[in-house]
Amino acid sequence: MADYNVIVIGAGPAGYVAAIRCAQLGMKTACVDKWDSLGGTCLNVGCIPSKALLDSSHHYYFMQKEAKQHGIKSEGLSIDIAAMQARKNKIVKMLTGGIGGLFKKNKVVSLKGAARLISNTEVEVNTQIISADNIIIASGSVPTQIPVTPIDNEFIVDSTGALAFDAVPQRLGVIGAGAIGLELGSVWSRLGSKVTVFEALDDFLSVADRKIANAALKELKKQGLDIKLATQVTAATVANNEVTINYQGDQQLVVDKLIVAVGRKPHTDKLGVADIGIEIDERGFIKVDANRQTNVANIYAVGDVIGGPMLAHKGSEEGVMVAERLAGQKTEMHYDTVPWVIYTHPEIAWVGKTEEQLKAENIEYKVGQFPFMASGRARAHGNTSGMIRIMADSQTDRILGVHIFGISASELIAEAVVAMEFEASSEDLARTIHAHPTLSEAMHEAALDVDGRVIHS
Ligand code: FAD
Ligand code: AMP
């Protein structure tokens, strides 16, 4: 008999959630992770520490730039980076420790060590071989490196290094205008860095709705981020405590620190994936079928390591799905309703198709739009940037995509996700009573606007 019903490799949001759900469903479950603390990238060096610094830096930015309009004086304002980092570290410690508590509560056996696949039912951990009826790989992802900018973890850093600066770099370069580059660039810009972002593509946030992306670009530039689109970095060299960045052939910029945020790649190092015949694609992602099963019987994979949106909540839901399918349930995952959020200020969030995708797919649609400028709550708050856009099918009125740039977009998008999950029409949202005064009224008004019935703009 096998030691466990399930062994989960990796205790990030995909793995730890899968392990807890397996255990809840009565499976004897072990979760192996090689890091000292549980929670994977997200809790240790991703979602959580970045949001802690985004919130701290926003408070400083608010006191410096916006408090005055509320009649609040901020003379003698200063920042203590060590205290800010200590706060961030405390939050990480509390949450990662919390997963240990959840494992105990749910009777998940937590094993520390690097796991290596031996067969479709065996895993080696710390020279010991343990066995299970099924194995779930949730080994996540690591930052992509590019040869032209070798990471030295002092001057040229990846996202992990950028979360740990002990002082505000006067001049900061960021390569990559994706979510991670924009969020980390925003943190240090708000704290005083002169930030230059290099992005090889001509389109800003090419995956987002164009109107939303353009509005966000304008706002971020206004905040002081120098975002250079269609600009390829070709080299970076460190000398005299400075980084010289070469871009577009003969152009140069000298900065104090350079963050390389050019994406993430699947993490399967030393996992033995190839040794037991698990297929990977040309980019190294583990190939899975609709049930998240690999080509090898009894082995499943979830989260960043299988690609798709590299988002914590996407991995967690895949973890739940695999656990429930192992228990004989018929759980499905709806990739069409995975919300995306970029935690700039204001935030960018969306679910479903962009206007550009609808056009490319020849789907006839109607658009409703509402600017936060016309929202009483946004005005009271003091930030009226951005808008909500809703796209609905011309014939059926079914909501196909909702796109937000504005304060609390990360929270507002949940209403759209629920509506789309329930296959709602824009009229369903338009007939739903929203509390006044709230930012969610902008969702209501955008829905009304789909049918030309908007009241407040
Ligand atoms: P991971 O979180 O990467 O976890 C994988 C785990 O597997 C790790 O703990 C690793 O130690 C372990 N492991 C790997 N190989 C082995 C092995 N052989 N043996 C034992 N253990 C192993 N996503 C969001 O949704 N929202 C955000 O706001 C957000 N912000 C981010 C900010 C930053 C700076 C970064 C870098 C990422 C951010 N992400 C965010 C992405 C998010 O962190 C990932 O999508 C998520 O962590 C993926 O979860 P995962 O469980 O698949 O993998
Ligand atoms: P993401 O994968 O969303 O985190 O975004 C990473 C971004 O980095 C992508 O938009 C890439 O186009 C960009 N990128 C990758 N390499 C370079 C480079 N050498 N110079 C500038 N931008 C780059």
DSSP character string of 314-337: HHHHHHHHHHHHHTT------GGG
Kindly report the protein residue whose alpha carbon is nearest to atom 35 of ligand 1: 46
Q: Residue 380: its pLDDT value, please?
A: 97
The helix/strand count (H/E) of the chain reads as 13, 22
Give the number of domains in the chain.
3
Residue 204 CA to residue 58 CA, distance in Å, equals: 23
- Of 262, 287, 319, the last residue of a domain is 262
Sequential pLDDT tens for the chain (457 residues) = 999 999 999 999 999 999 999 999 999 999 999 999 999 999 999 999 999 999 999 999 999 999 999 999 999 999 999 999 999 999 999 999 999 999 999 999 999 999 999 999 999 999 999 999 999 999 999 999 999 999 999 999 999 999 999 999 999 999 999 999 999 999 999 999 999 999 999 999 999 999 999 999 999 999 999 999 999 999 999 999 999 999 998 999 999 999 999 999 999 999 999 999 999 999 999 999 999 999 999 999 999 999 999 999 999 999 999 999 999 999 999 999 999 999 999 999 999 999 999 999 999 999 999 999 999 999 999 999 999 999 999 999 999 999 999 999 999 999 999 999 999 999 999 999 999 999 999 999 999 999 999 999 9
Angle at 46 between CA 280 and CA 208, to 5 degrees: 75
- Of 288, 304, 333, the last residue of a domain is 333
User: Cα(270) to centroid of ligand 2, in Å?
Assistant: 27
Residue 440 CA to residue 423 CA, distance in Å, equals: 19
User: Cα(250) to centroid of ligand 2, in Å?
Assistant: 20
| Dihedral pair phi/psi, residue 393, rounded to 5° | -60, 130
Confirm or reject: Cβ of 180 under 6 Å from ligand 1. yes
Query: Cβ neighbours of residue 392 under 8 Å, at least 6 residues apart?
Result: 365, 366, 367, 368, 398, 399, 400, 425, 426, 450
Query: Cβ neighbours of residue 269 under 8 Å, at least 6 residues apart?
Result: none
CA-181 nearest atom, ligand 2: 4
Task: Locate 379 and state its tokens.
Answer: 């005005």
Which segments of 164-204 are extended strands (E)? 171-175, 194-198
Q: Residue 249: its pLDDT value, please?
A: 82
- Of 262, 289, 322, the last residue of a domain is 262
State how beta strands 233-239 and 4-9 pair: unpaired
**Burial status of residue 230 (CB atoms within 10 A of its CB: 0-12, 13-18, 19 or more):** exposed
User: Cα(11) to centroid of ligand 1, in Å?
Assistant: 9
Query: Cβ neighbours of residue 282 under 8 Å, at least 6 residues apart?
Result: none
Residue 171 CA to residue 445 CA, distance in Å, equals: 42
Task: Locate 451 and state its tokens.
Answer: 């049918």
Confirm or reject: Cβ of 176 under 6 Å from ligand 2. yes
pTM over 0.85: yes
Query: Cβ neighbours of residue 58 under 8 Å, at least 6 residues apart?
Result: 190, 345
User: Cα(304) to centroid of ligand 1, in Å?
Assistant: 7
| 444 plus 395 within the same structural domain | yes
Residue 390 CA to residue 181 CA, distance in Å, equals: 27
Q: Is residue 148 part of a domain?
A: no
CA-163 nearest atom, ligand 1: 34
Residue 97 CA to residue 92 CA, distance in Å, equals: 8
**Catalytic residue chosen out of the listed positions 313, 403, 434, 436:** 436
| 133 plus 120 within the same structural domain | yes
| 128 plus 242 within the same structural domain | no
In 3D space, the residue among 323, 321, 287, 290 whose CA is nearest the CA of residue 305 turns out to be 287
Confirm or reject: Cβ of 141 under 6 Å from ligand 1. yes
| 293 plus 324 within the same structural domain | yes
Q: Is residue 150 part of a domain?
A: no
| 170 plus 117 within the same structural domain | no
Q: Within a 13 Å sphere around the CA of 345, how many CA atoms are in the beta-carbon half? A: 25
456 carries an active-site annotation? no
CA-207 nearest atom, ligand 2: 3
Closest ligand to C-alpha of residue 174 is: 2
Q: Residue 248: its pLDDT value, please?
A: 92
Q: Is residue 455 part of a domain?
A: no
Q: Is residue 456 part of a domain?
A: no
Domain containing 177 equals: 156-262
Cβ contact 281:196 at 8 Å: no
Q: Is residue 149 part of a domain?
A: no
